[in-house]
Amino acid sequence: MKVLEECLKETSLKYELNGWGEVKFTGQPDITEVNEFKNKLQGTGIYVIEDPRNELIQRIKDTISEMILLHDNFKSKKISTYLTEKLNYSYSYLSKIFSEYTHYSIEQFVILKKIDYAKKLILENKLSLTQISYKLGYSSVAHLSQQFKKTTGLTPTTFYNIIEKRKQ
């Protein structure tokens, strides 16, 4: 967010920032200056979303990531309910738009994000696989291991051992 604000301050563009890291230009921004601003953002990991549907896709992804990171026992709330409450759209609409633009379902994205988070937790080596599977809402370690292997090609233990060997 700081990088974004610094790039914006270097311009004379009038804008509003919201909590999602989104910028809305107010008034009639000079197209040349907007393009210069976009060029400054290249290489920062920040990108410009001009299609409102792409913005919604990003908000869906951010909301899913937020839910996975912030809620222990991920199972306690259904993703469909969480997305509907947070984004104020029906789940069927969100699901349709998401799959049209990403070519995979919200459920597949949730699995990918959960496995990414599981990798992080495994590497931190503070929680057992049982605790990780519970935290991420899996019914068992076997279920986590099955999805982990399907997604990464490795079991969680093999993944951990490979990373540890690389550190040596």
Q: Model pTM? A: 0.70
The share of the chain scoring above pLDDT 70, in percent, equals: 89
Convert the pLDDT of each residue in 88-138 to its tens digit.
999 999 999 999 988 999 999 999 999 999 999 999 999 999 999 999 989
In angstroms, the CA 91 to CA 85 distance is 10
Residues facing residue 23 across a β-bridge: 17
The yes-or-no verdict on residue 57 having pLDDT over 60 is yes
55 falls in which pLDDT band (50, 70, 90)? confident
Going from the N-terminus, what domains does the chain have, and what CATH number goes with each? 2-48 (no CATH), 53-167 (1.10.10.60)
Question: Cβ(103)–Cβ(110) under 8 Å?
Answer: no
1 falls in which pLDDT band (50, 70, 90)? low
In angstroms, the CA 66 to CA 82 distance is 10
